[in-house]
């Protein structure tokens, strides 16, 4: 076991991204979240765009229960009953699995349609988040081309969201494009989905991962100084698989289960970021509803549930 540095964090958000369940659950679904000393949860009402269109559909009858209004509202109330802060984080999925950041409509008419439907989608959930007194609202997730090509829309969207939601606002910029989003000064946090490459090793050590953060940490710090805003990792995490630090965004199953790699990558990030006064915390990816039946020592995927890293997170979050 590697020597670790105790993390003394006063981060505002010690959170998890909660995977919306397909069918109704009870408030006990958040007991495991509280058990790891988390104080916040991200609820994600997914929207969808078909491969052939540009309209964001949401709250549809065929969606999972936790993604629809009924589930979002009830899950938020469950979380709040257990003293968890809530971020509502609407996120769009492109049918077929195409990456949202690369999505680009085919015509000006489709761009306008995307803007109008996305605007309605965001303000719909901003109203819900405000009615539930949520602490935080995220106006979008990893829309690289959208925010680069239509900056005026995003400025107007922030203004409109401010008039609908009285809490704090952020945007979830992907690790490779957060620095091209130009409106951070209008938001409360620089939000980053922090899947930065940190090591090519099969089982990277804590020190390797910390070294791999070197230039990235400097760049993030310079960026937050430029905008005079604190930083929040709207998503962060690593799979329990060989080379988990090489392409942390990947969902590939190629490689062996590697619980130590996951644990070391998490610990390195905790030691580097979570004691910084300008770092306000993050939401790990991801936490599933039925805690006792997920994750475990044979699981290669992101969830830290029932794996050694769960204790590492618990220690960092206390």
**Residue 42 reports pLDDT greater than 90:** yes
Question: What is the model's pLDDT at position 145?
Answer: 97
CA dist., res. 176 & res. 188, Å (int)? 21
**Residue 299 reports pLDDT greater than 90:** yes
Question: What is the model's pLDDT at position 102?
Answer: 95
pLDDT tens for each residue of 96-113: 878 999 999 999 999 999
**Stated pTM of the model:** 0.96
**Residue 52 reports pLDDT greater than 80:** no
Bigger pLDDT: 115 vs 51: 115
| 5 confidence band (pLDDT: 50, 70, 90) | low
**Among residues 207, 209, 212, 177, which one has the least CA distance to residue 191?**
177
Q: Which residues contact 101 (CB under 8 A, 6 or more apart)?
A: 142, 143, 144, 145, 174, 177
Domains of the chain by range and CATH?
13-317 (3.20.20.80)
pLDDT tens for each residue of 53-74: 899 999 999 999 999 999 999 9
Q: Is 96 left (phi over 0), alpha (psi -120 to 50) or beta?
A: left
Q: Give, as one character, the DSSP assignment of residue 257.
A: B
Strand partners, 85: 40
| DSSP symbols for 58-116 | ES-TTS-GGGSHHHHHHHHHHHHHTT-EEEE--EEEETTS--GGG---SSHHHHHHHHH
pLDDT tens for each residue of 205-229: 999 999 999 999 999 999 999 999 9
**Residue 264 reports pLDDT greater than 60:** yes
| 140 confidence band (pLDDT: 50, 70, 90) | very high
């Amino acid at each position: 076991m590697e020597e670790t540095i105790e993390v003394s964090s006063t981060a505002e958000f010690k959170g998890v991204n909660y995977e919306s369940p397909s069918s109704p659950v009870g408030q006990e679904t958040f007991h495991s979240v509280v058990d790891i000393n988390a104080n916040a949860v991200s609820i994600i009402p997914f929207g969808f765009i078909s491969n052939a269109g540009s309209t964001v559909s949401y709250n549809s009858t065929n969606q999972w229960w936790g993604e629809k209004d009924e589930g979002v509202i009830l899950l938020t109330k469950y979380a709040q009953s257990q003293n968890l802060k809530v971020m509502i984080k609407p996120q769009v999925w492109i049918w077929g699995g195409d990456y949202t950041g690369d999505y680009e409509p085919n015509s000006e008419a489709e761009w306008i349609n995307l803007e109008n439907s996305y605007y309605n989608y965001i303000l719909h959930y901003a109203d819900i988040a405000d009615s539930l007194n949520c602490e935080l609202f995220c106006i979008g997730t990893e829309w690289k081309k959208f925010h680069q090509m239509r900056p005026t829309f995003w400025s107007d969207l922030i203004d409109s969201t401010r008039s609908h939601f009285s809490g704090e606002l952020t945007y979830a910029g992907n690790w490779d494009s957060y620095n091209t989003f130009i409106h951070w000064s209008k938001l409360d946090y620089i939000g980053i989905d922090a899947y930065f490459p940190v090591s090519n090793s099969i089982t990277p050590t804590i020190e390797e991962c910390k070294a791999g953060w070197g230039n990235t940490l400097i760049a993030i710090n310079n960026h937050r100084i430029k905008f005079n805003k604190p930083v929040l990792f709207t998503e962060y995490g690593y799979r329990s698989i060989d080379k988990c630090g090489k392409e942390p965004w990947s969902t590939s199953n190629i490689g062996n289960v590697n619980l130590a790699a996951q644990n070391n990558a998490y610990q390195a990030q905790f030691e580097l970021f979570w004691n910084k006064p300008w770092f306000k915390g993050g939401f790990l990816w991801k936490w599933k509803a039925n805690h006792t039946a997920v994750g475990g020592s044979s699981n290669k995927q992101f969830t830290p549930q029932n794996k050694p890293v769960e204790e590492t997170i618990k220690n960092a979050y206390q």
